[in-house]
Structure 1
Amino acid sequence: MEFVKHLLKFIATALILFISLASCSNDGDDSSAGQDSQSCLADSDLNRFELTDESKRLARGETIDLVVYDAFLAPEGAFERFKDETGITVNILTTSDTGTMVSQAVLTSGDPVGDVMFGIDNTFLCRALNNDVFMPYRSSTWSELSNELKLDPIGRVTPVDYGDICLNFWKDAFSDAPTSIQDLTSSSFSAQFVTQNPETSAPGMGFLLSTIAVFGDDWEDFWKELRSNNVAIRSGWSEAYYEDFYSKDRNIVTSYATSPVAEYIFADPPVETPPTAIIADSCFRSIEFTGILRGTDSPAASAMLVDFLTSVYFQEMIPETNFVLPANVNADLPEVFLRFLEEVPNAVSISPDVIDANRNIWTERWTELVLR
């Protein structure tokens, strides 16, 4: 019955989501001044949850809901193992994209539709933290997680994985392959590039942020040049990758640093090396987090799930199921990743505060430059 209750609440939330999104759009400009004086990553008045042996014992037999975005793939057998170890059943509650998932969580902050969220990233982080979506909790694995990924020192969210959004290209498509993001404006690559709308796609947003980080105040000029060079825009990653890029109508696409590894794994017939490569200076670092939703009726069970999601066992499963990299420094990468994953030593990033304050301004300006 608890799951049904949460599901009904989830559906009701979705019905008013349009109103919420409109409100968020209006709030974008107003938040800018506040972000300058108070970071969303600053200290919080919320009480941190402490997991005890007694609370673990009492949590046995509980059922909790894990809220995820629609692209999440649960590693086979993972949550069955969690139940065997803890006695806790995990239901997967799938939403739409990350932005919709976060907006719904904001609407129900303190009375959540689920118990734990998986997949909020650094581009939406401040929206959730500013609305007290999460309960602070320091996981038992906290010391094992990469310090660079622990953006919230309080522990309202815990890093689970990271990856880089990068330009990908077919190696055999060019005698002189692109080596820099700036190359996309060259006439040599006219009508070769397809990317995604940042208002409807996480990779599209990542690439927009990359251009802002790389070019600074000149980012608008870069996009004007891309438009003159016949860039193609699609609503989502699947359309851009499988329709334009896979057909080789376009030979450069916004995707992920792990995409060449996936191309190698799933190649039919098999290949000796990945047929695609990345342009390293185009990469934007994306970090995904998990967190206990404030107001859950099962804080102990939820904390145990956070511990599990960041454990070496689970962390070593996610590269080959979700093609992301583990946050736990003790987790080993699969051999195929060690062989073929291209290093991105200087992936760019932008503070979550800055993204939150400027997201609507940037996307509206991008729309004016590229689509109108």
Structure 2
Amino acid sequence: MKNQWVHKISGYVRIKISGPYPELFINRCIDNGINIWDIHSVGKEVLVCSVLLDETPKLRRMARLSDCKIKFIQRKGFPFLWAKLWKRNGLLFGAAAFFALLYILSNMVWGIEIEGASAPVEHDLREAVTDLGIKQGAFQFRLPPPEEIQSIVTDKITDATWIGVTKKGTTYHFQVVEKQLAEKEPKEAPGHIVAKQKAVVYDLFVEEGKPVVEINQLVEKGEMLVSGLIGKEGEEEQVAAKGEILGEMWYEASVEIPLSRTLHAVTGNQYRTHQLYFGDFSIPIWGWNPPEYEHIKEENYKGEWEIFGFQMPINYGYKDVLEAEEIEKEKAVEQAIEIAVEEGGEKVLSQFSDSAQKIDEKVLHHEVEDGKVIVIIHYRIVDEIGTKQPIIQGD
């Protein structure tokens, strides 16, 4: 294999040797150090073989000494290929110019995209990147790397907390996170914190105001939890009570769980269709008539083609259509109770705030009836129970 590549690079010819003793010609060539290979007999007193291009001048003398005639029947290798291309040098130069131009264009900046910036910040950022030489038509190899660009523009743009820089093909992308000035919260009107529902105080943290309840104390709806009046009696100062008061509540839930459910299992039969994608639009190229399965599952694949960092508008993808069948799976009663506890807890928590927590649950009763399990569960829920109430004159 290695010699074949050497022969193709240096060039070789196929010759036909005819005469009374063509074997004598072969022997004289070997004796004189001429490399000959791939020798075949093609008729009576006729041989065909391969000889390196550099050694062809010696063949005439060997032919005279051997009383043979030689004829060149094939020319192979790089020197002959180059000679053919040189005859069509216009095509050769055109192809070289095309690839050179494509390489140059793919290493130039053709787009600058900025996301997340307001108009003034975007204007300042465009001026900063222009000062760095990042503009349409600039050569990428003359520009700083994205990490250095990010450091420079982040220092220059004082109204931005962070600026991300990425280079995709011929486009620079700038992702801007602007500084957000915290707005002053308006001063709250004086008020108390009262219970919005019946509960047992589970925990409390008072930031402003005077607590009037204790942990484990039962409170009714509307009962005061934190007073907005502070100071000595008769000299109270009105403030906006602030704090977090957590209350424990009890709920019972009844949940029904069927003892069987339907699953879809793959049978192993499948069919693949092939598509060409133009953006989000697809054109099928193979597999137009897939078999009709009663139940199916689909798995999709879509590739991405890139040339010199450019995302091509055309992509290939395929879709596997898998046959599935329905399977009835029986659940044990214990498993159904576990599922009921989980689903009941989610149902109960949905009635409270997002910060509510389930701290305990207990199955009070369960029974099997008509292929399903009916479960009664007791839950202990902890959630914020405080709500603001303005101070009324005379409180």
TM-score range, shorter chain: under 0.3
Larger Rg: 2
Higher strand share: 2
Bigger relative contact order (CA 8 A; separation at least 6): 1
Choose between structure 1 and 2: higher helix proportion.
1
TM-score by length of 1: 0.17
